[in-house]
């Protein structure tokens, strides 16, 4: 048996161990949010197919906001089928809402209006809302960025 096994742990050794443990916990606590921020981008965030829950129950003209990767997307059921557009206004990034009665996307920040195809009707946005890919597989609807 080694001779140092019979000695009680020193105060200095105990404090070194506590400091090392604290450093390790702090490093993990600081790293996790950073890794979670980078993780969707690292795997190509937003490229995966996301099922639109309850799509079959949506009425014509109804819209729904979903999350595709890290992006907010508005899915609208038209007579011809489903369409999906980014919910992020191309002006300064506010979230647009689908107005079923106006058949338009409205931005609350600077009163921009986008038509049902995401094109700018009025207001300051410099570009239309980016469109997402919609796939119908059986009776399910999936949305992806590409």
State which of residues 43, 110, 135, 140 lies at the interface with ligand FES (CB under 6 A).
110
Neighbours of 63 (CB within 10 A): 22
For tokens 């089928």, name the residue. 81
81 alpha-carbon distance from chain centroid: 24
Half-sphere exposure (CA, 13 Å, Cβ side) for 92? Answer: 8
The answer to the question of residue 89 lying near ligand FES (CB under 6 A) is: yes
Nearest approach in angstroms of CB 116 to ligand FES is 17
- Contact with ligand FES (CB under 6 A): which of 45, 123, 128, 130? 123
Q: Which of 55, 84, 87, 107 binds ligand FES (CB under 6 A)?
A: 107
- The window from 11-19, 61-69, 90-98, 129-137 that contacts ligand FES (CB under 6 A) reads 90-98
Nearest Cα to Cα of residue 95 among 84, 108, 104? 108
113 C-beta neighbours (distance < 10 Å), count: 17
Pick 25 or 92: Cβ nearer ligand FES: 92
Residues contacting ligand FES: total by CB under 6 A: 11
DSSP state of 46: T
Binding residues (CB under 6 A) for ligand FES: these are: 89, 91-92, 94, 107, 109-110, 112, 123-125
């Amino acid at each position: 048996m080694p001779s140092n096994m019979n000695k009680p742990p020193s105060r200095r050794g105990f404090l070194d161990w506590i400091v090392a443990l604290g450093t390790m916990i702090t490093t993990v606590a600081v790293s996790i949010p950073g890794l979670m921020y980078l993780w969707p981008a690292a795997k190509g965030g937003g490229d995966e197919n996301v099922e639109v829950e309850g799509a079959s129950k949506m009425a014509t003209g109804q819209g729904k906001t979903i999350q595709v990767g890290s992006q907010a997307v508005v899915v609208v059921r038209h007579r011809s089928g489903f369409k999906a557009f980014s919910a992020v206004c191309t002006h300064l990034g506010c979230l647009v809402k689908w107005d079923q009665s106006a058949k338009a996307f409205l931005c609350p920040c600077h009163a921009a209006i986008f038509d049902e195809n995401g094109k700018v009707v009025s207001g300051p946005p410099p570009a239309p809302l980016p469109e997402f890919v919609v796939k119908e597989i059986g009776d399910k609807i999936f949305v992806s960025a590409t």
